[in-house]
Structure 1
Amino acid sequence: MYLGRVWGEAWAMVAERAAGVSEARDEQERALEMARGQAEAARRRGSQRGPVDPTRIGEYEIVARIGTGGMGIVYLAEHAQTRKVAAVKVLRPGLESASAARRFEQEIDILRRLDHPNIARIYEAGTTEHAGAERAWYAMEYVAGRHVIRHSEINSLAVERRLSMMGMVCGALAHAHESGVLHRDIKPHNILVELPGTPKLMDFGVARLTQGDKTTMHTQIGQVLGTVQYMSPEQIRGNHDELDARSDIYALGVVLYELCCGRLPYPHDARDTPALLRAMREGNPTPPREANPELSQQVERVILTAMTGDPAGRYPSAQAMGDDIARMLRGERVQGVPTIEGPSKKSRGLGASLSRLFGRGGSSDAAPG
C-alpha cells in the first residue's frame, strides 16, 4: 500500500530525463534514474527525510521517506557500497509492543519464503537504533513502475497483453500459496509493472501464514483487513478461519475485471455507500461484456469463474486460473464456468457485515492493522 502512492509523479518527472537516456543503459542505472525521480517527487510532496528520520539504516543511505502505514515507514535508499536502490521498511516509532514486533517479524518471514520473478524480493533484514529504541527493518527490491491499471491505460495495452501480465501475476500468487502464504490484499496498487512490462506482486503487510498456530494471523474474528472493492464475501465477514487461496483468487478476478472493463464490477459513488452495500449484498456485478462489449466470451468466463460468490465455484488455485489465461492466449477453450453464481448461504450475512464496517459512513478502504 505504501509504494504505489508516488509512482505517477515519479514517472512524470523522470520522463524528460529518460528521453535522453541511451537504450544501452543497464537495468540498475534505469532503476536508479527512476528512484531519484521518485525521491524528487517525494521531496516535492513534503515527504522527504525529516528530522526524526534516520540518515542510514544498516548499509543503506536514506534518500527519502516514500510511505507511512499502520506498521512501518518506508524509505527510498541506496546501498552504501553497491549503490543498489532499495525500499527499506522500518517499524514505526510508537509500536514497541511485543505483538507489533511479532507481526513485523512475520512479515519478514513471509517475504523470505518467497522467491519468484514476479514478486518483489527481500534483500536483508536487521535491527537499528531509531527514535530512542531498537527497531526491526528490512530492505527489499525497489520496483520502478506504475500500478497495473495505470500502466495499461497509459500504454494503451491490448487485452491480450493485459491478460499476459495477469497470467504472470497468477504464477506469482500460486507460488505464494504453495509457500503457505495468503496475500489478503490483492488490488491494482499492489501489482506494479516495471520496465519493460514485468508485473511484480507487492505488499505482504497483511498476509498470513496458512500453516501453524492460528495466532500467526494477527487478526480477530470480525476484523476486516483489505480493500473492500477487492475483497471476497467470506473475507468481508471477517471470519478468517474460512479464508484460503480462493479468497485471493476472487480479488484477482476483480482486478482482471477492472483491467479489461475500465471500471469496477460494482458501481460505487463515494457519496452513496449504501448503493455499494446493496450491490455487494446481492452479489450481482455488472457482466463484463456489458461493461465492455468488445470482450470475448472466453475473457468473460475467466473473470466470472474467479469472481463466483461461492468459493467452491471459483478456480481451485491461482495456477488453474493462470492455466486458463494461457489457454485463452493460445486460442484454446477455457475451462471456467460461464456465469456468476448468486450469493451462497454463507454469503447472506455480507450486507450486515458491510453495514457494520461502514456504519458511520466510513471509507471503502479498511485500514490494515
Structure 2
Amino acid sequence: MSRRSIELDDRLSNDQKTFTLRRTRRGSHEAVTLSKRKVWNKAMAIERVRQIIGTDTPLDLATFDKKELLLGRVLGRGSFSVVEEITSICFLANSSSITSQHREELRLKEEERNFLAQHCLRSSGIGRPSPRYALKRLQTNGDWNGVADLVIESHFLRRLQHPNLIKIRAVSVGDAFHLGFFLVLDRLYCTLQTKLRQWKRDERNLWNCRRSSNMGERLIAAYHLGSALQYLHEQRICHRDIKPENCGFDIRGDIKIFDLGLAREMRNSNADGTYNLSHMTGTLRFMAPEVFQEGKSYNELCDVYSFAILLWQMIVLEQPFRHMNDEQTFVKIVFEKHGRPELAKVHPPRCQALLKKAWHAIPNERPSMSEVCSDLRRMTMEIEFGESGDFETASRRSTFIYDETENGNIMENLSDGSSKKSVK
C-alpha cells in the first residue's frame, strides 16, 4: 500500500465513528462499521481538502467546545450550513464532559478565549447590547463535503488579514475534520443584496436628502471590495464566486467579503500564466466565460470579470441579465455571443470604458484588480469633490452605523451560495 493511502487510512480511523479500511490481496476494500458510501464520501472529502490546502497545519486560533457558546437567533441558512449569533460565552474547561486532551487545548488558548468572552457583546449605550460574533456550523449530519468546505474556508480566513475580508476568531476544539466542526466569525448586519435594495429605494425617493451622495457611497463600497480582491490576488488566491450574496456590512457599515468557500490557491502555473482549476465554479450570472468552459485553464482575471458584472449592478441598481432565466439562452448570448449588460445606463461615463475592459471575453485583455481599483478611486474623488479631494474623507463620509432595531436579522445569505429569508 502506498504511503498516501496509509496516511488516509490512519486519518479516517481517528473519527468517533471508527471503521476499518484494509486492502486485501485482490485490491478490494471492506468497510466494517460504516457503509462503503460513507467511507468513500469521507475519504474523498479529506483528499479534496488535502489537495487544496496541502499538508495539515494547526489553526493558530482560539478554540471552543460548543457547550461553551450560548447561541441566539438564526441569522441565515444555506444548503449545508447555518449561521447563528453568539450571545454569551461560558467557560467549561473544568467540566467532566470535556476530555482531558481537549481541556489542555482550551487551556493553551486561555488569553484569546478570555478576550472573546469579554467582548462577546457590543454596547452602544442605547437599547440592548448586540452580539459581535456568529457561529457557522453544518446544518445536517453526515455531510463530509460540507465539513471540507468549512475546513477550507477556515484555512484561508486564518491566514488572510484585510479590513474588507471577514475575520475568523475561533474554531471548534479538537481535530478539524469532524461533523461538529464550526467557525466563530465576526457578525455581519447586512448583505450587499439587502443594501442594493436600500440604495434603489433611496434613488426612487425624490425627497431623500442623501440622494446626491448615493453614487459616491456605492463607488466607495465597490472600491473596498476591489481592494479585498486585489489583496487576495497578491496572495495568489482566486476567489471564483464574487456576487452580492457573498458580501456584507458590519455594524460600522464597512463592506466585507464573507465567503471564501470556493477560493483556491494558485499553484504551478502553465506557460501562459493560467492554472488548471475546476470549471463551472460559482454562480452563472457572475461567472467568467473561461470558468464555464470545460477543460479551459484560467487565473485570477476571472475575478475581474465577476467584479465588473457586480460593479454594473452596484451602479445601475438592477440585476444583471435579469431577463435571462434559461441557462441555455444565457450561455448562447453571454458566453458564445459575448452579450453584456447595457452600458447606456452607466454613470459616470468613464466607468463605461472600465467595464468594457474588465468584462472582456479574452482574459488577457482585462485589467488587473490593482488597475480597476485605481480607476474607481479617481472616479469616486471626482464625484465627491470634483477634480481635487481626499479619498479617505469621502470614505469616512459614507460610513454609517446600523440600528439593529430597524434591521433585525439581516444576514440573509450564507456563504455556500444558498439564499433564504432570515428567521426573526
Q: TM-score, with normalisation over the residues of structure 2?
A: 0.56
Could you tell me how far 1:96 is from its partner in structure 2? 5.6
Relative distance call for 1:209 and 1:273 in structure 2 (3 A) is: closer
Q: Distance in 1 between matches of 2:241 and 2:290?
A: 14
Relative distance call for 1:224 and 1:95 in structure 2 (3 A) is: farther
**1:217-274, Cα deviation, whole Å (9 max, x unpaired):** xxx97652211111100111244x723221111111001111112324435243x444
Match of 2:181, SS state, is strand
Relative distance call for 1:258 and 1:136 in structure 2 (3 A) is: same
Code of the residue aligned with 1:76 in structure 2: it is: E
Code of the residue aligned with 2:82 in structure 1: it is: I
Relative distance call for 1:61 and 1:276 in structure 2 (3 A) is: same
Relative distance call for 1:155 and 1:201 in structure 2 (3 A) is: farther
Q: Report if the CA contact (8 A) 1:58-1:128 is conserved.
A: no
Could you tell me how far 1:187 is from its partner in structure 2? 0.5
Please list every run of 5 or more consecutive structure 2 residues that lacks an aligned counterpart in the other structure: 1-64, 90-116, 122-130, 204-210, 270-275, 388-415, 419-424
Could you tell me how far 1:139 is from its partner in structure 2? 0.4
- Tell me the equivalent position of 2:221: 165
Q: Distance in 1 between matches of 2:73 and 2:253?
A: 26
Matches within 5 A, 1:176-255: 176-211=232-267, 224-239=280-295, 242-255=297-310
Q: Report if the CA contact (8 A) 1:118-1:172 is conserved.
A: yes
What is the total number of aligned residue pairs between the two structures?
266
Relative distance call for 1:260 and 1:76 in structure 2 (3 A) is: same
- Tell me the equivalent position of 1:137: 182
- Tell me the equivalent position of 1:257: 312
Q: Distance in 2 between matches of 1:77 and 1:194?
A: 15
Matches within 5 A, 1:271-350: 272-280=326-334, 281-289=336-344, 292=345, 295-316=347-368, 318-331=369-382
Q: Distance in 1 between matches of 2:138 and 2:268?
A: 24
Q: Distance in 2 between matches of 1:124 and 1:155?
A: 38
Q: Does 1:119 align with 2:165?
A: yes
Could you tell me how far 1:200 is from its partner in structure 2? 1.2
**1:316-358, Cα deviation, whole Å (9 max, x unpaired):** 2x2221111112233499xxxxxxxxxxxxxxxxxxxxxxxxx
Relative distance call for 1:136 and 1:190 in structure 2 (3 A) is: same
RMSD across aligned C-alpha pairs, in angstroms?
3.2
Please list every run of 5 or more consecutive structure 1 residues that lacks an aligned counterpart in the other structure: 1-55, 214-219, 334-365
Match of 1:162, SS state, is helix
Relative distance call for 1:229 and 1:190 in structure 2 (3 A) is: same
Relative distance call for 1:72 and 1:184 in structure 2 (3 A) is: same
The share of aligned pairs that are identical, in percent, is 20
**1:46-94, Cα deviation, whole Å (9 max, x unpaired):** xxxxxxxxxx826421113333334433222224233333221123443
- Tell me the equivalent position of 2:11: none
Could you tell me how far 1:120 is from its partner in structure 2? 1.1
Q: Does 1:94 align with 2:141?
A: yes
- Tell me the equivalent position of 1:73: 82
- Bigger-Rg structure (1/2): 2
Matches within 5 A, 1:35-114: 57=66, 59-80=68-89, 81-82=117-118, 83-84=120-121, 85=131, 86-95=133-142, 97=144, 101-114=147-160
- Tell me the equivalent position of 1:152: 199
Could you tell me how far 1:153 is from its partner in structure 2? 2.3
Code of the residue aligned with 1:122 in structure 2: it is: I
Greater relative contact order, per chain length (Cα 8 Å cut-off, separation 6+): 2
Code of the residue aligned with 1:124 in structure 2: it is: A
Q: Distance in 1 between matches of 2:255 and 2:305?
A: 19
Code of the residue aligned with 1:314 in structure 2: it is: R
Q: Distance in 2 between matches of 1:139 and 1:165?
A: 25
**1:147-178, Cα deviation, whole Å (9 max, x unpaired):** 24234224445322211111111111111222
Match of 1:330, SS state, is helix
Q: Distance in 2 between matches of 1:71 and 1:91?
A: 6
Match of 1:140, SS state, is strand
Q: Distance in 2 between matches of 1:183 and 1:273?
A: 23
- Tell me the equivalent position of 1:26: none
Q: Distance in 2 between matches of 1:195 and 1:66?
A: 14
Could you tell me how far 1:310 is from its partner in structure 2? 0.8
Q: Distance in 1 between matches of 2:253 and 2:76?
A: 24
Q: Distance in 1 between matches of 2:249 and 2:201?
A: 12
Q: TM-score, with normalisation over the residues of structure 1?
A: 0.63
Match of 2:180, SS state, is strand
Q: Report if the CA contact (8 A) 1:185-1:206 is conserved.
A: yes
Q: Distance in 2 between matches of 1:263 and 1:134?
A: 39
Code of the residue aligned with 2:136 in structure 1: it is: K
Could you tell me how far 1:124 is from its partner in structure 2? 0.8
